[in-house]
A and B are shown apart, each in its own frame.
Chain A
Amino acid sequence: MLTGRRWFGTMGALLALTLLLAACGAAAPATAPAAAPAGEAAPAASGEPIKVGAIFDLTGATADVGTPYSQGQIAYIDWKNANGGIAGRPLELISQDYGYDVAKAEELYTQFIGESVVVFSGWGTGDTEALRPKVTQDKIPFISASYSAALANPAETPYNFLTAPSYSDQLIVGMKWALEDWKAKGNTDAPTFAYLINDSPFGRSPLEDGTAFAAANGVATPLEVPSPRGATDLTPQLTQIKDSGTNYVFIQNVSSPAALALKNAKSLGLDVQFVCLNWCANELLVKLAGPDANGVVGTIPFSPAGPGAEVALAYAKEKGIDFGGADSTFVQGWTAMSILLAGVEKTAADGKELTGENIKASLETLNNFDTGGVTQPITFTSTDHAGSKALRVFQITDGKWAPITDFMTAK
């Protein structure tokens, strides 16, 4: 019945299945004992690590900025451990790449919660949204690199904390600057706006609030142009913008597609002012777009200057961490983690048990937490989880981001 080749195939398959089963079996006990002490939150012995969960995008659609962000978070944990940890206990980061895949994020979150992490650091807008009900149910203080305005209201999302002005606020600040800039150029009519966005919840997150702000200021509804994932040419999208006679284009996307847009715009002869929100306003954009990036304006919530950033960058230099020149994104990851752990540290300093509820309560009393000039001081309250509301507008001159305004808020 089984010929030689068949036999080989069958045995190969059997071997593969056995390996799979064996590995599953091996993986099970590896996680089981770790899960065991999760049930009761017994007072931890000194020296027992404090577990921090995180998911990073190292291979997915936003990996270009996801990688330096993750390096910043890992580096902060290492740095903190080298400086005595929290209340004498070391920190242990449990993290994995999730490839910007919502289902994978859920799987990893569930796994890490089973390993009793006390706080969690997420990444994208889609997965942060998807994890929202679970985070609330599990009472896990959660920060992410998504600054969707929907996450700042503790009545709906009691365990989500925003470490930067929301995307909506960023867009409105960008629009405020654009309106002033338009007037300063001697125009009396209203400018025309357009959105060039990532085709995802991340891209669309601030549009509704932005359009409302535009309408209130007499600007026509901005044209919404999604750029497809993995596009290698954005000329059709930019042609659409060109035909609409737009003056200001707001980009809500990560660096690589934004840089592509700048290059395509140059060859198309498109004469507009680009305004990048957080995730494309960084050094990576300058590196990728080169001279075409000059003049681009960005709303940067985490400034790579100031004493806080110097500590982070000096540590990276000392340890030889190569984050590809994306200083501000590295500092962003570092600072976001420092804000989350400030809550843990405060809880430990107050002599309370490190439970999600206690850490949340501590974070909500965080008042003017100093990030060393990277952001405005962070304040959370029990009714407002938007930690910082102001940012400065930067512009690229000669390949360098330089601030052109003082701290501005959306209000």
Chain B
Amino acid sequence: MQSGTFHSSYSSDMGLRPYWPMRLRIILVIVIMLVFPWFAGRYWLNLANTIGIAAISAIGLNILVGYTGQISIGQGGFMAVGAYTSGLLAANAGLPMWVSVPIACVVTAVVGALFGMPSVRLKGLYLAIATLAAQEIIIWVLTHGKILGIGESLSLPPETSNLFGLSLAGSTDFNFYWLIMGCLVLTVIFVSNLFRSRAGRAMVAIRDQDIAAQVIGVDLFRYKLLAFATSSFFAGLAGALTAHYRGIISWERFTIETSILVLAMIIIGGLGSVSGAIYGATFMTLLPALLSNVSRAASGVFPSFSSYLPYIQQGAFGLAIVLFLIFEPEGIVKMWRNVKDYFRLWPFSY
């Protein structure tokens, strides 16, 4: 029996997944991801893709909020920048997806860094309000965007959603599953490794104690902006994927509610954790879907009750979130860790 975590080499100390149960689990997850789309119907593929896009955005926000400690409620706005940049490039210049999406990510990163500038002088709630301004400014520009040639909604020509000759616009859900999951996997690999690098550790130092970080030589301005840019890069990716996946975009998809939803995902999933962001995105997408299925089933059983079900559904969503936060304020990732800890010593846990 294992009585603790002991590393006997630097490489094992630095390893992301040093133990066999971890490796087994990740293999299991990959196998499930590979097998899932062949058995799932369109409804479940749609949910999986929604989760994938939300997870990319949540991981991006986690870089900023969870790892660097800079609160942002502008993620929806940054997603809109990505979606519209990619959409406009596709609709007006006819650029294919593999060109427009990376450009959109870079543009969003620049916009994110720009709106991150107040973070040099502002902290905590004050910064949150500054990012709220970013959100509102971006949406205002989009709704009054006749200058930019943006109508109320933007429809993307399907031929721009081709990836190296393979049309993704045909049987959308299945094809996009692979693209979205591919992007998600790359995001996970990049962000997991980011926090083993100098830049990532500097960000964590800023979160833990910014004055101390400055004293040990971390350039606060530079790394805060870097955190904003990296975070927005992934928001842009999520937005651009949404644009191509849905084929049509309107700003209604990227309102303040979206920003708060993404923030809620990382709080419920677990701040400062890549897997937490994925759990949070999964939870916040599946719970309403589950509740609406339960309510559909219930309306068949209690027809007289059915007019109240939509309200109960909304209430139950709120209640579930509150209960989660009461029982485990550190998020789903902590719960999972508790479960693992419990079974590691089972049946001799104390």
- Whether, in the assembled complex, A318 has its beta carbon less than 8 Å from a beta carbon of chain B, the answer is no
Point out the residues of chain B lying under 8 angstroms from A31, CB to CB: 41, 43, 293
Within 8 A of B (CB), among A104-121: 104, 106-108, 110-111, 113-114
Within 8 A of B (CB), among A324-353: none
Interface stretch of the complex, out of B5-13, B60-68, B98-106, B335-343: B335-343
The answer to whether A10 and B152 touch across the interface, beta carbons within 8 angstroms, is no
The answer to whether A201 and B152 touch across the interface, beta carbons within 8 angstroms, is yes
Interface stretch of the complex, out of B109-117, B198-206, B310-318: B310-318
Chain A: interface residue count, which band? Answer: 35 or more
Which listed residue (A9, A23, A28, A106) contacts B246, Cβ 8 A? A106
Taking the nearest CB of chain B, how far is it from the CB of A222, in angstroms? Answer: 15
The answer to whether B342 and A10 touch across the interface, beta carbons within 8 angstroms, is yes
Question: In the complex where A13-B338, A59-B310, A96-B296 touch, is A106 in contact with B328 (Cβ < 8 A)?
Answer: no
Within 8 A of B (CB), among A72-88: none
Interface stretch of the complex, out of B78-86, B122-130, B226-234, B247-255: B247-255
Point out the residues of chain A lying under 8 angstroms from B327, CB to CB: 9, 12-13
- Whether, in the assembled complex, B42 has its beta carbon less than 8 Å from a beta carbon of chain A, the answer is yes
State the CA gap A28–B43 with chains docked (Å).
10
Residue with the greatest number of chain A CB neighbours at <10 A, chosen from B153, B172, B173: B153
State the CA gap A7–B345 with chains docked (Å).
13
Mark each residue of chain A from 7 to 31: 1 if its CB lies under 8 Å from any CB of chain B, else 0. 1011011101100100110011011
Point out the residues of chain A lying under 8 angstroms from B341, CB to CB: 1-2
The answer to whether A204 and B152 touch across the interface, beta carbons within 8 angstroms, is yes
State the CA gap A59–B317 with chains docked (Å).
14
Point out the residues of chain B lying under 8 angstroms from A191, CB to CB: none
Question: In the complex where A59-B310, A114-B41 touch, is A103 in contact with B335 (Cβ < 8 A)?
Answer: no
Question: In the complex where A59-B310, A97-B310, A201-B152 touch, is A10 in contact with B252 (Cβ < 8 A)?
Answer: no
Taking the nearest CB of chain A, how far is it from the CB of B324, in angstroms? Answer: 8
State the CA gap A107–B314 with chains docked (Å).
16
Mark each residue of chain B from 250 to 274: 1 if its CB lies under 8 Å from any CB of chain A, else 0. 1011000000000000000000000
The answer to whether B314 and A99 touch across the interface, beta carbons within 8 angstroms, is yes
Mark each residue of chain A from 122 to 136: 1 if its CB lies under 8 Å from any CB of chain B, else 0. 000010011011100
- Whether, in the assembled complex, B349 has its beta carbon less than 8 Å from a beta carbon of chain A, the answer is yes
State the CA gap A13–B333 with chains docked (Å).
11
- Whether, in the assembled complex, A225 has its beta carbon less than 8 Å from a beta carbon of chain B, the answer is no
The answer to whether A20 and B248 touch across the interface, beta carbons within 8 angstroms, is no
Which listed residue (A96, A110, A114, A130) contacts B292, Cβ 8 A? A96
- Whether, in the assembled complex, A205 has its beta carbon less than 8 Å from a beta carbon of chain B, the answer is yes
Point out the residues of chain A lying under 8 angstroms from B248, CB to CB: 129-130, 132-133
Residue with the greatest number of chain A CB neighbours at <10 A, chosen from B50, B158, B327: B327
Point out the residues of chain A lying under 8 angstroms from B152, CB to CB: 129, 201, 204-205
State the CA gap A274–B248 with chains docked (Å).
34
Mark each residue of chain B from 294 to 319: 1 if its CB lies under 8 Å from any CB of chain A, else 0. 11110000000000011101100000
- Whether, in the assembled complex, B290 has its beta carbon less than 8 Å from a beta carbon of chain A, the answer is yes
Closest partner residue, chain A, to B310 (CB atom)? A97
Closest partner residue, chain A, to B344 (CB atom)? A1
Taking the nearest CB of chain A, how far is it from the CB of B248, in angstroms? Answer: 6
The answer to whether A111 and B349 touch across the interface, beta carbons within 8 angstroms, is no
Closest partner residue, chain B, to A7 (CB atom)? B342
The answer to whether B296 and A28 touch across the interface, beta carbons within 8 angstroms, is no
- Whether, in the assembled complex, B288 has its beta carbon less than 8 Å from a beta carbon of chain A, the answer is yes
- Whether, in the assembled complex, A220 has its beta carbon less than 8 Å from a beta carbon of chain B, the answer is no
Taking the nearest CB of chain B, how far is it from the CB of A153, in angstroms? Answer: 13
- Whether, in the assembled complex, B20 has its beta carbon less than 8 Å from a beta carbon of chain A, the answer is no
The answer to whether A6 and B314 touch across the interface, beta carbons within 8 angstroms, is no
Point out the residues of chain B lying under 8 angstroms from A24, CB to CB: 286, 290
- Whether, in the assembled complex, B47 has its beta carbon less than 8 Å from a beta carbon of chain A, the answer is yes
The answer to whether A126 and B252 touch across the interface, beta carbons within 8 angstroms, is yes
- Whether, in the assembled complex, A58 has its beta carbon less than 8 Å from a beta carbon of chain B, the answer is yes
State the CA gap A32–B39 with chains docked (Å).
10
State the CA gap A42–B116 with chains docked (Å).
58
- Whether, in the assembled complex, B192 has its beta carbon less than 8 Å from a beta carbon of chain A, the answer is no
Closest partner residue, chain B, to A199 (CB atom)? B143
Taking the nearest CB of chain A, how far is it from the CB of B223, in angstroms? Answer: 34
State the CA gap A113–B339 with chains docked (Å).
39
Which listed residue (B43, B294, B309) contacts A111, Cβ 8 A? B43
B→A interface (CB under 8 Å): 41-44, 46-47, 50, 143, 152-153, 155, 158, 172-173, 246-248, 250, 252-253, 286-290, 292-297, 309-311, 313-314, 323-324, 327-328, 332, 335, 338-339, 341-342, 345, 349-350
A→B interface (CB under 8 Å): 1-2, 6-7, 9-10, 12-14, 16-17, 20, 23-24, 27-28, 30-32, 35, 58-59, 96-97, 99, 102-104, 106-108, 110-111, 113-114, 126, 129-130, 132-134, 137, 199-201, 204-205
Give 10 CB contacts A-B under 8 Å: A13-B324, A13-B328, A13-B335, A31-B41, A31-B293, A97-B292, A97-B313, A129-B153, A130-B246, A201-B153
